[in-house]
Amino acid sequence: MLKGRISRILFFIPLFLLLRSFPLWAHGDKVIPQVFDGGGVGRTKFDLTNLSPEFPITKVSVLFFRQDGSPWSITTNQGTGTSFNLNIGPFQTIRIETTGASPSLTVGYAIVRNTERTTQFAEDFEVAITVFFEILNGPNVVDTVSVPVGQPTVSFAFPVEMDNAVNLFTGFAIVNLTDADNNVALSLYESTTSGSSIPPPNSGMVNLTLNSRQQRAQFLNESNLFPTRTKFKGMLLGFSSGPVAILALLQTGTPFGVQFATLVPAYQDALRRNTHMYLQQGLPLDADLPISDYTGNSEDSAPWDILYETLSPTMRRLVPQSGAMVAPIGVRSDNQFDNEVTLEFLQGLTYTTNPIDMSNGSANLASGFTFAIQTGLKRYVKVRVSVVVTQVNDRHLVLEMEVYR
């Protein structure tokens, strides 16, 4: 009984797909992989916050789509329509909430589209998004479920737990972010003895094909996925031929009804933490990301870790910022940098706020010079100068970096 209820609430699937016009994805699009409304069982709420202390946002809208990607006209506290244009003042928050007025349960997804310009300050014209489901029993809210913004991915994993006997089920929603068919391969890997050096065998694999801009939401034990896995604990690993957005949820049966938890996916295509990057003289560096601001802005409220400061035509230095500290290491070869400068090595160094001299004639201004950063967020970063680029009086740096996060 509980399983049937949640299937209708969060993972409703239409019996057919309609081929209609599909959304275009702007540069500032954020995807909410699952929205549901009506049927007397729930509604969805959005809180959108303008992070700028100075500028209003007038070019942001929320667009609603059915599971087949066609526009969804829905009733909200802001009116009825398929899209809603917002005007959000500095540091203001606006809520859009569906009213639950759809006569039958309707499921789809949403796009928060921000086409505002940018400034040298990262927070200007930026919108923070919080979304959650409210599940109803009559007029009463019986559960609240957070819905993270979907990160585009082609390689993802999330934990899985299923036990039909106690109404414990894992489900997921997936949105095709492309204008073409998108093939998705899903594999299960069961938990094994702690410390085993051998990965578990594949416990089953299925392939799905998502139509252009289609959203699908299902439990993993449904007939077209893994129906024989009536009791299972482990991991789902997914690969897609094009980008998708996902949401994973765990339903738990209790004496008072079902409860839900959001499962946190790992995005394998976002795990890379090393880079080659160009640090121009005079510009700041955020080593956590890592990013250097090409506008030359070193006054952003977001913390910078290093400023490559110019003192004179022949004198320059790397200056720690915003609580960051540095530790010079010296010249290291490629092999030494890769294999000897480990996280344990970085943690054993002594860090200070003393600038690192990069003036003409300094031994530090050379290919191979290596140093460590403890960022303002207390991450460890190893950095090696790959190339020193001379441009008149300036000495720009090509850096090899690895961020431990």
Give the pLDDT mean for 373-380. Answer: 97
pLDDT per position as a tens digit, 77-129: 999 999 999 999 999 999 999 999 899 999 999 999 999 988 888 888 999 99
Find the helix or strand (DSSP H, E) in which 107 lies: strand 106-114
CATH 3.40.50.880 fits domain 2-191+202-270: no
To which residue do tokens 């077209």 refer? 224
Residues in the chain: 405
Residues 58, 48: Cα–Cα separation, whole Å: 12
| Global pTM value | 0.87
Q: What is the 3-state secondary structure (H, E, C) of 200-247?
A: CCEEEEEEEEECCCCEEEEECCCCCCCCCCCEEEEEEEEEEEEEEEEE
pLDDT of residue 190: 93
20 band by pLDDT with thresholds 50, 70 and 90: very low
Give the range among 10-24, 48-62, 310-324 with minimum mean pLDDT: 10-24
- Residue 76 CB partners (closer than 8 Å, separation 6+): 84, 96, 97, 98, 99
Domain map (residue ranges) of the chain = 2-191+202-270, 274-404
Q: Report the SS3 class of residue 2.
A: helix
Terminal-residue alpha carbon distance, the chain: 43
pLDDT at 8 over 60: no
Least Cα distance to 28 among 87, 151, 112 occurs for 112
